[in-house]
Structure 1
Amino acid sequence: MGNSTGTLKPVKPNKPSKDFPLFPHATGRWAKKVRGKLHYFGPWDSPDDALELWLLQKDDLLAGRKPGGCRGFTIRDLANHVLTFKQHQRDLGEITARTFNDYKRTCELLVSTSSRNREVADLQADDFTVLRTELSKSRGPTSLHNEIGRIRVVFNFAYQNHHIPEPIRYGAGFKRPRKRTLRLARAEQSPKLFEAGEIRKMIGSADTQLKCMILLGINGGLGNADVGNLELPHCDLNAGWINYPRPKSGIDRRIPLWPETVQAIRDSVECRTSLKAREDADVVNDLPLAQ
């Protein structure tokens, strides 16, 4: 009787231990089925390496994400792209330095609260629900409202600039606080108002620069950024007017000045000119009135 010439199948090895999470697949590799799909972790003769690879990829696979070695556009990549774009906007004067710093902090937050090598396209609605829950522990309604807005801008940037194939799905758990919540939060705070007598005391004790700032605030309703960016060409001191478009919208804004405000601006310019040693009168015209 002739001998069989058929190829013998290799004998599957036993698991190295009872709690070894992988099984020997017929292809000669250690494998595990996760979420209905088989994944392989190396040859039978390297069970330790296979176990190490499983432990490295376990969290991603169980969450339905690509394992760590197959990364595409990551959160760190997104943060770098967004900040480069925002820096360009800042340099062109399209956004303020404060706005840029806000986005910088938001990007740092996103990188620090998840793996920086996490792929943006792998993010799920549950990830954003967890993020909102964590943010709400350290932020009030207004701060949370603003932070969620910036985070959405950051991730929308990824899709709008073709870094990911489809928009991020934030889910129902990543919404801004309702307007009613914001109103109630504001109502709980004490009014931030100064009485006329308090303002007079501040003006009386302020130096030249600060007096100018205070008067611009109460005369024209200018805020900190407005005063910091106001330049002399915006001011017609002889006629007693400021022509100063709103920085964000570009909408024209004409403000009639009180005589006290006109004098305060003149005094501020004189003070700045003295500090600059009167190098050139035109130089003062290019400087903000207050710094």
Structure 2
Amino acid sequence: MAKSTNAAAAQKPKKPYPSFPLFPHATKRWAKKIRGKLVYFGPWDDWEGALARYEEQAGALHAGRTPRVSTGVTTVADVVNAFLSAKKSRVESGEVSQRFWDELHDVAERLVDHLGRDRAVDDLAPADFVDLRRKFAQGVGLIGLSKRIQGVRSAFKYAYESDLIDRPVKFGPDFKKPSAKSLRSEKQSKPAKVFSADEVRSLLAAATEPLRTMILLGINGGFGNHDVGKLPWSSFDTDAGWIDFPRPKTAVPRRIPLWPETITALEAWKDNCRLTKDGSGALVFVTRWGQPYAKEAGSYDSTLSKEFAKLTKKLGITRKGRGFYGLRHTFETVAGDTADQVAVNAIMGHVDMSMAANYRHGVSDDRLRAVVDAVRGWVFCVGDGVTHAPGRD
């Protein structure tokens, strides 16, 4: 009986009248899709308030503008909605990832839940942010706490610079990100995210295609999840043995020499690769459903992440916090021993902010080749008289 009562309570209400412009969303709010985006206007039990908010904001929203607050009182919800709307436009333009927006949305929900959506921004005091920081620290590490604090500060900074509020919010002396020293200490206390050479060989021996080829790319050139998910066939010159592929996360150009083992694997995979859902054969790695293996930068919930986790579990080498991206950590660590960090950074696609970068016009192919050859020698024990072919010890 309790189950049916709860189900009944969760049933969506009917529109108050046939021409009511909003619809009841599953989040128990009245909503409307405007210019391809869902916008929320208030809870189910206050349809009149939701309608009033829609009528106030409709002109700006349908014109693609961020609504200005005309009530004279800017609430926490007003700040959050304007901030998320602005960031969503950057997702649509490709400037930031969907995952980044999802993280901001999570922070915004926590902010609204703690302070109250109708709380006036003018009423906020430093004591509110002391409590908020304490709440934010629950269930996450220092890096997660830093992201949450930065998200809140960015939202209110946006509100001030957009004239939603007429003065900056006073956060007080305590609502700050953890110190760099604290972050370093936390990082040092966690297990390293690298694989040993034995583990890499075990992964290559046990993996089936296309995961095995992905692993080769991860350790050959520091490829991460998003790199694999966005990799086009057009980036390859397998005859010469190179990939020219800007890193999706930063758009930094990369030129990567391929190992013989990687070239062989890619050529074999090309004869068996699948088409994307739209019938295109542009991407190298596509799931049986025609979707990319990794959709967003750093995505935790992707087909690649799940398949790699199954493999490490099967081999008994699972370690908390070490997934496919650990191959990128491993490449950087091993390649660093070549003492040619400039060449390593070029292969990794790191942004070089140094003054020297303004005067440097490329890195020679010989230097790039020397870096990947050193990592290959580490993986397969090439150069010490013993050669381990992929999949064999």
Describe the superposition over 1:128-155 as per-residue Cα deviations: whole angstroms up to 9, x where unpaired. 1211122223221111112212222222
Q: Which residue of 281, 286, 298 maps to 1:284? A: 281
Residue aligning to 2:150 = 149
1:27-106 alignment runs, 5 A limit: 72-106=73-107
- Secondary structure of 1:183's partner? helix
Residue 178 of structure 2 aligns to a residue whose secondary structure is: coil
Secondary structure of 1:163's counterpart equals: coil
CA-CA distance at 1:76 after TM superposition: 1.4
Change beyond 3 A, Cα 1:87–1:287: farther
Rounded to whole Å, the distance in 2 between the matches of 1:265 and 1:98 is 29
- What's the secondary structure of 2:137's corresponding residue? helix
The equivalent residue for 2:141 is 140
Aligned-pair distance for 1:110? Answer: 1.0
Task: Provide the residue aligned with 1:162 in structure 2.
Answer: 163
Secondary structure in 1 matching 2:138: helix
Mark the CA change 1:87 to 1:264 in structure 2 (over 3 Å): closer, same or farther. Answer: farther
SS of equivalent to 2:272: helix
Matching residue of 1:53: none
Q: Equivalent residue of 1:175, what SS?
A: coil
Cα distance per residue 1:98-139 (max 9 Å; x no partner): 112111111111111111011223322221121112222322
Q: C-alpha separation between the residues in 2 aligned to 1:101 and 1:268?
A: 34
Matches within 5 A, 1:1-291: 72-273=73-274, 283-285=280-282, 291=293
Aligned to 2:243, what secondary structure does the other structure show?
strand
Whichever of the two has the greater Rg, that structure is: 1
- Which 10-residue stretch deviates more, 262-271 or 207-216? 262-271
Following superposition, the deviation at residue 85 of structure 1 comes to 2.0
Q: Matches of 1:123 and 1:264 in 2, distance apart?
A: 59
Distance 1:99 1:265 in 2: 31
**C-alpha contact (below 8 Å) 1:269/1:284 kept by paired residues:** no
Evaluate the alpha carbon distance shift between residue 257 and residue 287 of structure 1 in structure 2; reply closer, same or farther with a 3 A threshold.
closer
SS at match of 2:281: helix
CA contact (8 A) 2:273 2:284 kept: no
Distance 1:122 1:287 in 2: 54
| Deviation digits for residues 40-79 of structure 1 (CA, Å, limit 9, x no counterpart) | xxxxxxxxxxxxxxxxxxxxxxxxxxxxxx7622221222
The one-letter amino acid of 1:200's match is R
Q: Give the TM-score normalised by structure 1.
A: 0.68
Q: Distance in 2 between matches of 1:238 and 1:86?
A: 42
Specify whether residues 253 and 120 from structure 1 end up closer, same or farther in structure 2 by C-alpha distance, changes over 3 A only. farther
**TM value normalised by structure 2:** 0.51
| Structure 1 stretches of 4+ moved >6 Å | none
How much has 1:285 moved relative to structure 2? 1.4
Write out per-residue CA displacement over residues 247-271 of structure 1, whole angstroms, 9 at most, x where no aligned residue.
Answer: 3433222111112222333344433
Distance 2:276 2:253 in 1: 31
Shift of residue 184 of structure 1?
1.0
Contact map agreement 1:208 1:267 (CA 8 A) in 2: no
Assess, with a 3 A threshold, how the Cα gap between structure 1 residues 186 and 72 changes in structure 2: closer, same or farther.
same
Report the count of equivalent residues: 218
2:57 maps to which residue? none
- In the alignment, residue 285 of structure 1 is paired with which amino acid? A
1:71·1:119 contact (CA, 8 Å) conserved in 2?
no
Partner of 1:50: none
Aligned-partner SS, 2:256: strand
User: Which residue in 1 is equivalent to 2:365?
Assistant: none
Deviation, structure 1 residue 287: 6.6
Alignment CA distance shift 1:195-1:219 (3 Å): same
Q: 1:237 to 1:100 in 2, by over 3 A?
A: farther
How far does residue 169 in structure 1 lie from its aligned partner after superposition? 2.0
Q: Tell me how far 1:168 sits from its aligned partner.
A: 2.0
Q: Distance in 2 between matches of 1:165 and 1:230?
A: 46
Bigger RCO of structures 1 and 2 (CA < 8 A, at least 6 apart): 2
Asked if 2 retains the 8 angstrom alpha-carbon contact of 1:76 and 1:111, the reply is yes
User: In structure 2, what is the equivalent of residue 61 of structure 1?
Assistant: none
Cα deviation, 1:174-219, whole Å, max 9, x if unaligned, reads 1111111111111111222211121122122222121122111111
